[in-house]
Homo-oligomer: A and B are copies of this chain.
Amino acid sequence: MNSSHPSGSAGFHTTPVFPRGFRCASRNVGLKPTARDLTLFTSDIDAAAAAVFTRNHFPGAPIILGRETIRGGSLRAIIANSKVSNVATGTRGVEHARRMAVAAAAELGTSADRVLVSSTGVIGVPLPIEKIERGVVGMTADLQGDPMVGAEGIMTTDTHPKALSASVGDATITWVAKGSGMIEPNMATMLSYIFTDAALDAATLDRLLRDAVSGSFNALSVDTDTSTSDTCVIMANGLAGTVDEAAFAAVLRAGCVRMTEILARDGEGATRLIRVSVKEALSDHEAHIVAKSIVNSPLIKTMVHGADPNVGRLLMAVGKCFDCTIHPASTSASINGFQVVAGGERLTFDDAIVRETLSRDVVDLEVTLGVGTGTAHAFGCDLTKGYIEENAAYYSS
């Protein structure tokens, strides 16, 4: 990874493990034909917790319930189903989400207000709650220590399960997440669960989580569409005792960035990871707008997909940020460190070099605006026929 990107230095475990006291299980309960569609993540003891949710005006029923649940600041478990998102389902949908929490709590011997519920899948279809209520019975016996089992259970169009872990002193942080479309621009991952055995209270977790999310999941965009189900939650059960807060915050941020890159790279139909850095903007806010404009531009995304050296599109994408301070004469741009634009003009270069660099698995686009000190990063992917295929028949498949 390029050292200019914030995930560069974290040391992740070769194989992801859970922190002390966390386990998970997943199984098929009949929502999908055969794939795992119901997942439990548990802590052996109550864990301090914090969460951030989608800003979409049509939040799913689990989000409505989750905002209420997380106020308690304490969780024992997360229950998540795939295939049906329980969104746009009215008061009955919220009742179904509550029943899902009650069913998980009964199975685990805790109370429903300690269970966070997630659902992901098609919008506007009633949740088959009876299948979930029946299906969760006996799942305690399946609980085990491999986070990949839970990661697999929450997949929708993801092509692979996603989990990471890293150490902070004696403690461990573990990330389990799924993508991979309808991702932007606030809470970019639909479901991202973070577990740690560090001892941190709910208020501290909330602050650290919001900080980590702002530079990672909130900088990710697959397709400009914002899910109605986005959820990022952190649980800290304290079994490893206290940790250095600054060190914890740094590893938390790095893991969120790394997971963001993993999600972007596995965006629907994606073949490349695109990382955008904007420097010398008037403000961080304007840098963020420009970075998002670049990472979301269909013409940039298809240029990267085709490894086509049509680099003038970078200027187009910067220039369409109408309300930002842009001075063509001070604007420069590079691709994987190879400068292609200076003073607002496309440089003369060997097309073959740019074709080669645009063909890499990770494409770093850097734009320097020369008008201030604002910086921002954004993460995305190329736009391919695979995206069209997956989304032209998602409901029906």
Q: A residues bordering B, Cβ < 8 Å?
A: 55-59, 85, 87-90, 122-125, 181-182, 186, 223-228, 296-299, 302-303, 305-306, 308-313, 315-322, 324, 326, 328, 331, 341, 343-346, 383-385, 387-389, 391-396
Contacts and interface: CB of A to CB of B under 8 A. Distances in A.
A58 B228 contact: no
B388 A312 contact: no
Nearest to A345: B90
B395 A226 contact: no
For the complex of A and B, the 5 pairs showing the least CB-CB separation, nearest first, are A123-B312, A306-B392, A124-B346, A124-B312, A310-B395
A316 B226 contact: yes
Nearest to A346: B124
A227 B311 CA distance: 14
Contacts of A225: 297-299, 313, 316-317, 320
A309 to B, nearest CB: 6
A388 B385 contact: yes
B315 A228 contact: yes
Contact of A344 (B88, B122, B320): B88
Contact of A302 (B57, B316, B331, B391): B391
Contacts of A59: 319
A302 B227 contact: no
A182 B316 contact: yes
A322 B227 CA distance: 12
Contact of A88 (B85, B90, B315): B315
Q: State the oligomeric state as a number of copies.
A: 2
A223 B299 contact: yes
A124 B319 CA distance: 14
Contacts of A384: 388
The majority secondary structure among interface residues of chain A is loop
Given A57-B328, A58-B318, A388-B383, A308 B124 contact: no
A341 B90 CA distance: 11
Contacts of A394: 302-303, 308, 310
A328 B296 CA distance: 27
A125 B351 CA distance: 12
Nearest to A321: B57
Contacts of A326: 57-58
A179 B206 CA distance: 48
Contacts of A383: 388
A122 B312 contact: yes
B392 A58 contact: no
Q: Give the one of A296, A315, A319, A324 with max B CB within 10 A.
A: A319
Contacts of A322: 55-57, 186
A395 B316 contact: no
A125 B125 CA distance: 51
Contact of A345 (B56, B89, B306): B89
Contacts of A345: 88-90, 124
A56 B302 contact: no
Q: Give the one of A226, A316, A328, A393 with max B CB within 10 A.
A: A316
Contacts of A392: 302-303, 305-306, 308
A392 to B, nearest CB: 3
5 contacts: A58-B328, A228-B316, A298-B391, A302-B392, A305-B392
A324 to B, nearest CB: 8
A83 B78 CA distance: 56
